[in-house]
Structures are given as C-alpha cells and as structure tokens.
Amino acid sequence: MFGFSLIIVGFLGMEFFSWAIHKYLMHGVLWSIHKTHHRKQSGYFELNDLFSLFFGSVAILLIIFGFENLDYRFWIGCGITLYGFVYFVLHDILIHRRVKKWRRPAGYYLDGITQAHRAHHKSDQRDDSVSFGLLIVPRRYFKHNRSNK
C-alpha cells in the first residue's frame, strides 16, 4: 500500500509540477526551447523534446537510487514514469498525432483535454497561451462537449 500511495503522489505531483514548469519556465525563460512545440514541425523531433528527456532522466535516477531498498525514491520515480507514459500517449500520440496510425478517440474527457490543448496552441507566442495542464484543465473546455451530446 505504501508503494502504491507514493506512485499516486509521483503521478499527481507531476501534473501540478509540470503545469507550473510549463506556465512559468517553458513560457518564460525557457521559451527558446519550448517555442519549437508551438510552431509547425519540420521533422519528427523538436527541441522541446529535451524536456521529456530531462523528466525521464530524473525518473530513472530516482528508480535506480531507490531500487535497493525499494524506498520512496523508487515509488515516486515509478509515478513519474507512469505520468510520462500517459503524457506521451495523450499528448504526443492522440493530440498531436506524432504516430499517425491511431485515430483520436472520442469521449467527453478526451475531447475536453483536446479542446484545452488546442486553445493552448492557438498562439505561437510566449505570452498568449492558456491552459497549461494536461490532465486537469478548466471546465470551460468541457462545456462545448455537453452541447453536442
């Protein structure tokens, strides 16, 4: 039970941590890297992918250092890894279609996340974006879906 709780802490912590990093650092001092994600892609990879490498490296180090005793670092690293997997599937595959083989699934929650992310990308400027989260987004992006059902 202890390990499962820490996996949840790592997973949910990443949603809030990544929201803050996205809003204040990626759309701030690190815009020169993140702006590649807001512009048309010319290839499969973008400079913004460095953020995924960074967070993935942190998760791997936590898992390695916590593995011997299966302490908190191991379980939190597993939570961060799980978040990274969900992020990759939702954001990169389903929303941005970086793997074109799968269709974007429909559904109230996924449609709301997609609407919020589209609103975020309406601007390719640093200061004009809204909705910085992935899994927790403002309710207004779900209202559009209610009227269609």
Within a domain: residue 63?
Answer: yes
Q: How far apart are CA 72 and CA 83, in angstroms?
A: 17
CB 137 within 8 A of CB 116: yes
Within a domain: residue 84?
Answer: yes
Within a domain: residue 52?
Answer: yes
What's the distance, Cα to Cα, between the start and end of the chain in Å? 39
Within a domain: residue 34?
Answer: yes
Confidence class of residue 1 from pLDDT cuts 50, 70 and 90?
A: confident
Task: Provide the domain count of the chain.
Answer: 1
Q: How far apart are CA 45 and CA 52, in angstroms?
A: 11
Q: How far apart are CA 106 and CA 97, in angstroms?
A: 14
CB 126 within 8 A of CB 117: no
Side chain identity at 37, as an amino acid letter? H
Within a domain: residue 139?
Answer: no
Confidence class of residue 99 from pLDDT cuts 50, 70 and 90?
A: confident
H-helix segments, the chain: 2-20, 31-38, 49-67, 72-87, 108-120, 140-147
Within a domain: residue 85?
Answer: yes
Within a domain: residue 143?
Answer: no
pLDDT digits (tens, 9 = 90+) for 15-58: 999 999 999 999 999 999 999 998 877 677 899 999 999 999 99
Domain that holds residue 58: 2-104
Write the CB contacts of 65 (distance below 8 Å, at least 6 apart in sequence): 73, 74
Closest by Cα among 76, 104, 108 to 91: 104
Within a domain: residue 138?
Answer: no
